[in-house]
Chains A and B, each alone.
Chain A
Amino acid sequence: MWVYLLRRLAYAVVLLLAVVSLNFLLIHISPGDPVETIAGSMGGLSEELRAQLRTQYGLDKPFLVQLGVYLVQVLHGNLGHSYYFNLPVSDLILQRVPATLLLVITSVVFAFLIGTLLGTLSARKPNGPLSQTITVIASVGYSAPVFWTGIVLIILFASILPIFPVSDMRSPGAEGWGLASILDVFNHLVLPAFTLAFVQLAQYSRLARASVMDALASDYIRTARAKGLSERRVLYKHALRNGILPVLTMLGMQFGNVLAGAILVETVFNWPGLGRLAFDSVLRRDYPTLLGILLFSSMLVIIMNQLTDLAYRLVDPRIKTS
Chain B
Amino acid sequence: MPGFKRVCIAALACALAAAAPAGAADAPRRGGTLVMGSTESPRHLNGAVQSGTATALPSTQLFASPLRYDADWKPHPYLAESWEMSQDGKSLTLHLRKNAVFHDGKPVTSEDVAFSIMAIKKNHPFQTMFAPVEKVETPDQYTAVIRMSHAHPAILLALSPALCPILPKHVYGDGQDLKDHPRNSRDVVGSGPFKLKSFTPGQEIVLERFDKYFIPDEPYLDRIVIKINPDATTLMLGLERGDLQLIPLISEPTLLRRAQADKNLVMTDRGYEGIGALSWLAFNTARKPFDDVRVRQAIAHAIDKNFIVKALNAGFAKPSNGPIIDSSPLATPDVKKYPLDLEKAGQLLDEAGFKKNGDGVRMKITVDYMPGSDVQGKNVAEYLRSQLKKIGIDAQGRASADFPTWAKRIASHDFDMTTDIVFNWGDPVIGVHRTYLSSNIRDIIWTNTQSYSNPKVDELLDKAAQENDPARRKALYAEFERIVTTDAPIVYLTVIPYHTLASRKVGGLPVSIWGAMSPLDTTYLK
Residues of A bordering B, CB below 8 Å = 30-34, 36-50, 84-87, 92, 95, 154, 158-159, 162, 165-168, 171-173, 175, 270, 272, 276-277, 280, 282-285
Contacts and interface: CB of A to CB of B under 8 A. Distances in A.
Given A173-B225, A270-B229, A44 B407 contact: no
B237 A173 contact: no
Nearest to B371: A283
B204 interface: yes
Interface stretch (B35-43, B65-73, B143-151): B35-43
B202 A277 contact: yes
Contacts of B403: 32, 36-37, 40, 283
B444 A45 contact: yes
B125 A85 contact: no
Nearest to B410: A36
B404 A85 contact: no
A32 B447 contact: no
A31 B408 contact: yes
Contacts of A33: 404, 408
Contacts of B359: none
Nearest to B231: A270
Contacts of B234: 154, 166-167, 270
Given A32-B403, A36-B404, A43-B51, A86 B180 contact: yes
A36 B43 contact: no
Contacts of A277: 202
A50 B229 CA distance: 28
Contact of B243 (A40, A42, A92, A165): A165
A285 B243 contact: no
Contacts of A175: 198
B238 A87 contact: no
B445 A44 contact: yes
B446 A85 contact: no
A21 to B, nearest CB: 22
B223 interface: yes
Nearest to B244: A172
A95 B200 contact: yes
B404 A173 contact: no
Given A32-B402, A41-B54, A42-B125, 6 more contacts: A31-B409, A32-B403, A165-B243, A167-B231, A172-B35, A283-B404
A95 B203 CA distance: 11
Contacts of A162: 241
B446 A168 contact: no
Contacts of A43: 51-53, 125-126, 423, 425, 431, 446
B405 A159 contact: no
A40 B54 CA distance: 11
Nearest to B404: A32
A86 B44 contact: yes
A49 B444 CA distance: 11
B206 A173 contact: yes
A236 B201 CA distance: 48
Contacts of A276: 202
Contact of B43 (A30, A41, A171, A270): A41
B33 A173 contact: yes
A86 B204 contact: no
Contacts of B287: none
B237 A154 contact: yes
A127 to B, nearest CB: 43
B237 A159 contact: yes
B396 interface: no
Contacts of A159: 237, 240-241
A276 B444 CA distance: 29
Nearest to A37: B404
A283 B227 CA distance: 20
B340 interface: no
Given A43-B423, A44-B51, A173-B33, A168 B442 contact: no
Contacts of A285: 404
Interface in B365-421: 401-409, 411
A179 B40 CA distance: 32
B444 A39 contact: yes
Nearest to B423: A43
A231 B43 CA distance: 62
Contacts of B445: 36, 39-40, 44
Contact of B442 (A30, A47, A84): A47
A171 B53 CA distance: 24
Contacts of B401: 30-31
A172 B224 CA distance: 10
| A-B interface, 5 closest residue pairs, ranked by CB to CB distance from nearest | A32-B404, A36-B407, A44-B446, A173-B225, A32-B408
Contacts of B50: 41-42
Contacts of A42: 50-52, 125
A28 to B, nearest CB: 12
A87 B423 contact: no
Contacts of B454: none
A44 B180 contact: no
Given A33-B408, A44-B434, A84-B43, A92 B201 contact: yes
Interface string B420-446: 000101000001001000000010111
Contact of B237 (A39, A40, A158): A158
A164 to B, nearest CB: 11
B185 A87 contact: yes
Contacts of B206: 173
B202 A39 contact: no
Nearest to A84: B43
Contacts of B53: 43
A282 B201 CA distance: 16
Contact of A39 (B203, B406, B407): B407
A25 B54 CA distance: 31
B223 A37 contact: no
Contacts of B450: none
Contacts of A86: 43-44, 180, 184-185
A32 B403 CA distance: 8
B421 to A, nearest CB: 10
Given A32-B408, A36-B408, A283-B402, A85 B185 contact: yes
B99 interface: no
Given A33-B404, A86-B44, A280 B243 contact: no
Nearest to A99: B203
Nearest to A281: B202
Contacts of A87: 185, 201
Interface in B236-255: 237-238, 240-241, 243-244
B127 interface: yes
Contacts of A92: 201
